[in-house]
Structure formats: structure tokens, C-alpha cells
Structure 1
Amino acid sequence: MAPMGIRLSPLGIGVFCLLGLGVLYHVYSGFLTWRIPSFLLGERGEDTVDLRELLAVSVKAAQLGGVEVKAVRESNKLNENLKGKTREGADDKMTRGDLLSNKKMASLIKNSFPGVQVNTEEHLDEEDKESSNWDHTLPDEIKDLIKHPKLVPAESITIWIDPLDATHEYTENLINYVTTMVCVAVDGKPIIGVIHKPFTGYTAWAMVEEGSNTKRRDSYNEEFPNIIVSRSHSGKVKEVTLQSFGNQTKIISAGGSGYKVLSLLDVTGNEQETADVYVHITYIKKWDICAGNAILNALGGHMTNLKGEEIIYTGSDGNEGGLLASIGVDHNALVEKLALKISPK
């Protein structure tokens, strides 16, 4: 007796195929939903954040912090304290301006986006946190530039706050070096940067792949660049850069990482020195550099360690490999000239 078989009518075959396609679609679409970030799917859930809103609250936070920084300096009641020594042996100072600015900035961001990680230079106890909130209104300049929501998972975000960059200069009343800064990193990559100058009122901001309210300069001197460095250890950098680029190279000593990044950009009318390259040869905290990194990236520039490697803004709060920042010049050529001559410590 011949084995029995199952015969399907043409209608049965069609139904079977449709069922199979339905199963495959369900599995495959589920796979896509799991694999593709929500901001690419364009669907906002409870665990996603609109980067446009993060940009807006970051600008507001930096400016609110700047109000505190300016008021404390003008009152001349800094309540200056010494936190310790930096690795270079310089005094690591903290003032009432640092603390009040940090309180304003961190409270606003944490209250507005409680699901994201916030790293800030000064500690903020829960009982010290203010009840300030943001109404989620987007300023016209942001809506005009970034017209659609940019959604990312909240768990992928790390925010870095520097409530008062250039504290040492702040205590010396060298106020033009002082900035407040906020950076938003997504999966460790700097995406949003805000640098605010409290004593001029100037604010630079940018979002990678979306735009910026500032721009690069029209030209840069690549052969004999003006190189901006920290006031605390300009001697060693001066020696190395003169060997690398020649005696016509100009060394600018300045305070504050935010100020140094702005020196690479077109910020005419804001009492800002002009440089072509920013070099830092030692350890530096990530809240000092993340905002500038994001702005440079958004404008087609670069900020790397001295080996040309990208800096990752997760994990520890320090960058060990030195710093090289540029825009409008061949960054890789700079790495080749400097990496072998400057040994980070």
C-alpha cells in the first residue's frame, strides 16, 4: 500500500503561504523594533528623550548657572575654598559661584529629565536640589534649525555639567575666561554642546548632524598655527610646538577649556582671542571638554587625544590621553606632528 500524502488545494496553499509570511513578518518586524533605536523608528515612548528638548534645557541651564556665577563675582563674596591639588600641582579651587551654579544647572536638568544620567563637577545632595522645572517649550531658534523630534533612549544618554569653568581665573577676576557648560553624550559620543559666557552673555550651542548657532572662521593658519594652551603649563607645550611648527608659531596662554574651544570659532565681538589649534598635554576632566567636543564635531572639527583617538564620554570622569582640538585644518597631520613629541602624564 502506497504511503498516504497530504494534498492541498490551491486555496489551501495560498492560505498556508499567507500564514507563513505573517509569521515571518511578525518575527522580522519584532527583530527590527528591538534592533533599531526608537529615534529612527520615529515613535516616542516613555523611555525616550527628544534631543531638541535636551538642547533647549541645556541652554537654559547654562544661562541660569551663568546668572549665579556673575552675581557671586560681582558681590565679591566668593567664599573661596581649596578642594585639593590638580595632578600638575596647581590649586584646585571651589567658590560659592561653583556651588550655586551647580545647584541651578543640575536641579533643572535632573528635574526635567529624571531618566538620564547626569555627571557634574560639584556634588549635589538630594536635599539641596531645587524644585525648578522646565516647561518643555522649544525656543524658535532651535525649532527653526531642527524641525523634527530627534528621539533617543533615555538610558543611552549621559549629561556632563561644568557649572564654572576656569575657577582659578574666576578668583583672580579674569572673568572673560569663565564659562558654564553642558554636554549631552549618546552612547558615549558627544552630540549636544553648550558653552555660555556669563560676563558677555554669549552662548554657543550645537547638535551634531543638525546645526549650530555659531560657525567656524573663514580661514585658519595650518603652516604656522596659533596654538592655545593652559596658563598652568604653557612652558612645555611652547617648547614642543616650536619644535613641531617652527619659530613663527604663536603660543596663547589662556584659562578654561570652554574659552579655548571658542577661540577656534567665529565669535567676533565677544572679547575672544583667536587660535587655530588647542592643545592640552595632561589629564583633564570630561565635563571640561565634552561640550566643546560636541560643538567642534557639529561644525566639522575634531577633538581627540594626542594619538588621534576619539574621547568616549562614559565611565570615568577623566581623560588621560591629552587633548588636541582643531577645525579647518588637517587634524591627522597635527596628530603626526605632536603625538610623538608630547608625552601625556
Structure 2
Amino acid sequence: MAPMGIRLSPLGVAVFCLLGLGVLYHLYAGVLSSRLAAFRQQRGVDLRDLLALSVEAAVQGGKEVKRVREENVLEEQSKGKTKEGANEFLTLGDLSSHKKMFYLIKNTYPDLKVNSEEHDSSVGDTQVWSRDIPSEILEKIGGGKEVPPESVTVWIDPLDATQEYTENLLQYVTTMVCVAVDGKPVIGVIHKPFTEYTAWAFVGKGSNVSPRASYSANPHRVIVSRSHAGKVKSFVQDAFGNNTTIIPAGGAGYKVLSLVEPPPGESKSADQADVYIHVTYIKKWDICAGAALLAALGGQMTTLQGEDIDYSGTEANKGGLVASIGVDHKALLEKLPNWDPDKH
């Protein structure tokens, strides 16, 4: 008598197959998940693309800044007072520029960390970068460099020199974007909305700006804040003498541009400086773009103690700053008096 075989109905076959697939899923799901996660982490961000996007964001933000000022709908309000007692202003120009700049970057690269001076809970702009790279960048930057998105921090200042903006001192106003990789500024963009001039730099790759032909070492021309000055004037005079030329000006972006060759058509004598010094509390979106620009040109921006500033962590820089190009930065630091942030 032949042994009896086991026969499965079509339903049984289906159940058996499903059970088998379930076992395989549990065996391999973890492996597949980890490999997919690794794949995502390997997807790098091309820094030349991010430079072009940063330029576009600064320009688009600048258009909003200019539009609001020309329409005279600033809707000005105070965000409070600084430690020195100065009002910190917020306008519709700040918010409209923030929305353009922040969402253009986030819509294009959702995984990037983007820190902005302003915050807006309204519906975001849906614009995405066209991925067009300006010919100037293609000509000067031969190739990009890919970095992991988790190593990138983007700092944006939608409207630098807001107080001057409300006073119609528009020469000081800029929009800025900075890209830091592992805390070091590598891309800086400073855009002047009312002259439509854009300065940009990619550290180690190139820039569309250059140092001036000469700088004065004795005496220095030192540019400082006009609205958040603290005790900077006495600090500068203690360092370099009472005959030092001190230039009060608005906007950190404007002050950095005063250290480099001015753009065509702009007066070469207007607020040109050799050193930029700040002694009070300042936010990193104010200074990161300038730090990248100077670094690309062989200059430096450090705390008053000569320390590098980390652009991956908190938003505040409490160590003051000294920025220079074309002069001996170390010699500058050695002349600075002892500095206590709580007294300035």
C-alpha cells in the first residue's frame, strides 16, 4: 500500500506562502532598513549647488526687503531691548524676506538645519530652487564638493541692519546666507538689496570679491556698530590710541564689506576700514557669512580672545569679535585690552 501524501488545498498553499513571506520579512526587514538608512546618509549635498541656492535665496529675500520699504508698509514693532538698552526692531520686510529665504532652502533641501533670525508660523512659501547655477559661479568654481547633510548648518539673516532700515539708511541693509560644515563657515553670501550687489565666497574654491590693494596698519581705520556699540569706542582707543579713526556703521554685513574691494560704481572712500571690532553680544546669523567671505580671501574673524567661532551650536556669540584682512591679525589681538563681556 502506497504511503499517503499530504495534499494542500489552494487556500492552504496561499496561507503557507504568506507564512513564508512573513518569516522572510522579519529576517530581512532589519537588514533592509539599516541599508536604506545608510543609503540616505550617503546622499551628499553638493556645496557648489548650495552656493548657487544661497545666492538665489539672498537675492529673493532682498527683493522682499526692497518691496516693503518702497511700499512703505514696514509694520514696525519692537522685539525688546538689547543689554545696552537699544531697541531691536522687527518689520514686515524682515518677515517677508525670512519666508522667501527660509522656505526656498528648506523646500530644496528638507534635511538641512536652517537657522534664521526670524520665525513665522504662517503658511510657508512653496518655491523650490530651479537648480540653475549662475554663469559667474560656473566660471569661478570649477567643481563642487559633496558633504553629508547632517554636517551642514545654514544661517540666514533675512534683513541685517533693521534699525537703519526703519530710518531709511538703506546703504547699510543686507540679506545674508552662510553655510557652515562641521561648525566652520565655508560659504558666505552678502547681498545689498538697494544696489543689487551680491558678494559671495566659497572657502578654498573662489569668490567674486577681492581684498583691497592696501590697508593702513598705523593708524588703523576701525569700523564699529552705530546702534549696538556698548563701550567699543573706548575699547578701540585703549587698543590703538586716541587718534584711531573710528567709523560707526549699521549692519554686520556692511562692516565686513567695508574691509574688501568695493564693487564697481561704489565710492572707494565710503566707510572703508582696516579692522572690524564688536564688543557686545551678537548672533551668528549676523557674522557667519562675513566670516566665510573673509576666510576665502585670506582674512580672519575671531573672538576678541583670538578663538575661532563655532557655527554649529547655539545662536549666540558672547566673545565679541575682531575681523581683518590685509593686516596682521595676531598683532591686532595682542594690542587688545582685557575684555569682560559683562562690562561691555
TM-score interval, normalised by the smaller of the two chains: 0.7 to 0.9
TM-score when normalising by structure 1: 0.84
**Alpha carbons 1:120, 1:161 under 8 Å: kept:** yes
Where in structure 2 are there 5+ consecutive unaligned residues?
1-38
Quote the residue 1:303 is aligned against: 301
Which runs of structure 2 are paired with 1:63-102 in the superposition (5 Å)? 63-102=59-98
**Alpha carbons 1:51, 1:152 under 8 Å: kept:** yes
CA distance in 1, matches of 2:312, 2:85: 26
* Letter of the structure 2 residue corresponding to residue 168 of structure 1: Q
**Alpha carbons 1:44, 1:151 under 8 Å: kept:** no
Quote the residue 1:129 is aligned against: 124
Question: Which sits farther off after the overlay, 188-197 or 84-93?
Answer: 84-93
Quote the residue 2:157 is aligned against: 162
Q: Residues 88 and 235 of structure 1: is their aligned pair in 2 closer, same or farther, counting only changes over 3 Å?
A: closer
Which runs of structure 2 are paired with 1:57-68 in the superposition (5 Å)? 57-68=53-64
Residues 159-211 of structure 1: CA distance to partner in whole angstroms, max 9, x if unpaired? 00000000001000000000000000000000000000001111000000001
CA distance in 1, matches of 2:231, 2:296: 31
Cα offset, 1:236, TM superposition: 2.5
Identity among equivalent positions (%) equals 60
2:214 aligns to what SS in structure 1? coil
**Alpha carbons 2:42, 2:148 under 8 Å: kept:** no
Count of aligned residue pairs for this structure pair? 301
Question: Which sits farther off after the overlay, 52-61 or 271-280?
Answer: 271-280
Quote the residue 2:340 is aligned against: 343
CA distance in 2, matches of 1:81, 1:74: 18
Which runs of structure 2 are paired with 1:284-303 in the superposition (5 Å)? 284-303=282-301
1:128 aligns to what SS in structure 2? coil
Cα offset, 1:248, TM superposition: 2.8
TM-score when normalising by structure 2: 0.84
**Greater radius of gyration (CA):** 2
**Alpha carbons 1:230, 1:254 under 8 Å: kept:** yes
Residues 212-243 of structure 1: CA distance to partner in whole angstroms, max 9, x if unpaired? 00000011111210000001354722222223
Quote the residue 2:106 is aligned against: 110
2:156 aligns to what SS in structure 1? strand
* Letter of the structure 2 residue corresponding to residue 202 of structure 1: Y
2:231 aligns to what SS in structure 1? helix
Cα offset, 1:267, TM superposition: 1.0
Where in structure 1 are there 5+ consecutive unaligned residues?
1-42
**Alpha carbons 2:229, 2:279 under 8 Å: kept:** no
CA distance in 2, matches of 1:128, 1:294: 32
* Letter of the structure 2 residue corresponding to residue 199 of structure 1: F
**Alpha carbons 2:201, 2:208 under 8 Å: kept:** yes
**Alpha carbons 2:76, 2:91 under 8 Å: kept:** yes
CA distance in 2, matches of 1:159, 1:150: 16
CA distance in 2, matches of 1:91, 1:206: 32
Which runs of structure 2 are paired with 1:30-69 in the superposition (5 Å)? 47-69=43-65
Quote the residue 1:242 is aligned against: 237
Residues 100-126 of structure 1: CA distance to partner in whole angstroms, max 9, x if unpaired? 00000001000111111000011133x
Cα offset, 1:302, TM superposition: 0.3
Compute the RMSD of aligned alpha carbons.
1.6
